[in-house]
Amino acid sequence: MKAPDEVIHREIAERGVLSFARFMELALYCPNSGYYETKKDSPGRRGDFYTSVSAGELFGQLLAHQFAEWLEELRLSRVTRHPSLCLVEAGAHDGTLAKDILTWLQSARPELFGQIEYCIVEPSPCRQAWQNETLKNFAPRVRWFNSLHAICSSTPNSDLRTPNFSGIIFSNELLDAMPVHRFGWDAAKKLWFEWGVALDGEKFVWAKIPNSELRTPNSEPPSSIFHLPSSLLDVLPDGYTIETCPAAENWWREAANILERGKLMTIDYGLTNDELFSPGRTRGTLRAYFRHHATDDLLANAGEQDLTAHVNFSAIQSVGEACGLKTETFSTQAQFLTRVLEKAAKDESFGGWNASRTRQFQTLTHPEHLGRAFRVLVQSKQGAPHRLNS
Ligand SMILES: C[S@@+](CC[C@H](N)C(=O)[O-])C[C@H]1O[C@@H](n2cnc3c(N)ncnc32)[C@H](O)[C@@H]1O
């Protein structure tokens, strides 16, 4: 088993300066040794802060209440070619959120629970094994897929050229864990260049990727930074840094394209284009977390520290809309969960309120905790109406 830093050393030696996206991919996902392959039991936000999931089971219960409402709508319109109602989670990590959601559905919506197929999209065999262990009591209801496309090909009469999935596809803190490219602004030349990773002795150091400033609009990687108005570019300071995440945009496009009817939802740390490109935010949003502390040294401790960048929600929203999805909600987590709670509070099956739920709700919605920094995007597709047995 090779540690990520050994693999990165070898790739730099063979190919020269690596893109930061490749560095991040290896640091987080190197088979058997990347950060997400080995760090199973992070107590909070990857060992650092609270996550919505680690705050307690209320987050999963509120999501489950909302999902039940959406799945009931789909069941009533009975449009699916798939015999079950599908709830797809991607980035399920150790399966805790899935367990919270399924536990609530089983006790509060037993009839719906009996018809649900909970699909986890998980490319890593190691994480599939963790999830399997957490969800062993729900075994008949849960299925695993290596990719979004694999779900499509498992449905009856599948034809991968047409969308054929009805249900809900959702993720929590998935897109901010996808590899990002890092760009710098050369104010004198009025050009973006891409930052990469090189070696100085044994140490990883930042280096400009040769000829990266020759990238033109519409070239790879696809990115909103190439479409900024000149009025904004005129005031960006030299060295202004920003990330782009084609992996997240591609993932959202793939999810949108397999969805025939239903919802696509993500919850994550993120910003809109206007917030991201404010001239006051000069250093980008990439952060590393090492042993309970945020650190600026993004290139240290490869495989031992988490790397994450804010999601550009404007870019994700545009990708979905270009694929025919309608944006239903873009809000803070506080606004979204408060609306769900208002509905859940009128529903006896949601269960009584107590001090623990109050504490969890405050953590999830308080602006200084998780309420403001986390955003929720929900997009939907109506699909052509047709009957189940037609
Ligand atoms: C920050 S963790 C999210 C944990 C969990 N969703 C939660 O809310 O606690 C991100 C997870 O996404 C996984 N991941 C990254 N890329 C993925 C992909 N393309 N498909 C599925 N999971 C992915 C990572 O391995 C990791 O387990």
3-class state of residue 353 by DSSP: coil
On the question of pLDDT at 208 being above 90, the answer is yes
40 alpha carbon – ligand 1 mean position (Å) = 11
Residue of 174, 287, 305, 376 best suited for mutating to test ligand 1, as the one with most atoms within 8 Å of CB:
174
As a whole number, the mean pLDDT across the chain is: 88
pLDDT of residue 303: 93
Q: Give the start-end residues of each E strand in the chain.
A: 18-19, 85-90, 116-121, 142-145, 165-172, 181-186, 191-200, 203-208, 241-244, 259-271, 287-290, 293-295, 306-308, 311-312, 326-332, 374-381
d(CA 199, CA 216): 27
Tens digits of residue pLDDT in 279-296: 788 999 999 998 878 888
Environment class of 15 (CB within 10 Å of its CB; exposed 0-12, middle 13-18, buried 19+): exposed
Does 218 score more than 60 pLDDT?
Answer: no
Side-chain-side CA neighbours of 376 within 13 Å: the count stands at 23
Residue from 1, 90, 9, 10 nearest 37 by CA: 1
End-to-end, the C-alpha distance of the chain in Å comes to: 53
Is residue 62's pLDDT more than 70?
yes
pLDDT for position 389: 41
Neighbouring C-beta atoms of residue 376, cutoff 10 Å: 23
pLDDT at 159 over 70: no
Closest CA to 228 of 191, 179, 173: 191
Element (H, E) at 256: helix 246-258
292's torsion region: left (phi>0), alpha (psi -120 to 50) or beta? Answer: left
CB distance 53 to ligand 1 below 6 Å: yes
Instruction: Please report the atom of ligand 1 found closest to the CA of residue 93.
Output: 27
Distance CA 104, CA 64 (A): 7
Q: What is the pLDDT of residue 79?
A: 54
Indicate whether 386 pLDDT > 60.
no
| Per-residue pLDDT reduced to its tens digit, 296-338 | 899 999 999 999 999 999 999 999 999 999 999 999 999 999 9
| Atom 22 (ligand 1) nearest CA | 91
Widest CA span in the chain: 67
pLDDT category of residue 163 using cuts at 50, 70 and 90: low
CA dist 202 and 51 (Å) reads 34
pLDDT at 214 over 60: no
- Cα distance between residue 320 and residue 125, in whole Å: 29
Task: Say if residue 155's pLDDT is above 90.
Answer: no
> Which residue's CA lies nearest to atom 13 of ligand 1?
91
**Pairing, β 241-244 against β 203-208:** unpaired
The angle that helices 58-77 and 96-108 make with each other, rounded to 10 degrees, is 60
Task: Write down the pLDDT at residue 369.
Answer: 85
Phi and psi, residue 265, nearest 5°? -135, 140
pLDDT at 43 over 60: no
Does residue 26 have a pLDDT over 90? yes
Indicate if ligand 1 lies below 6 Å from the C-beta of 91. yes
Atom of ligand 1 nearest to the CA of 306: 1
CB 90 within 8 A of CB 148: yes
> Does residue 160 surpass a pLDDT of 50?
no
Question: Token pair 């997400």 is at which residue?
Answer: 36
- HSE-up of 357 (CA within 13 Å, CB side)? 13
Per-residue confidence (pLDDT) for residue 235, from 0 to 100? 87
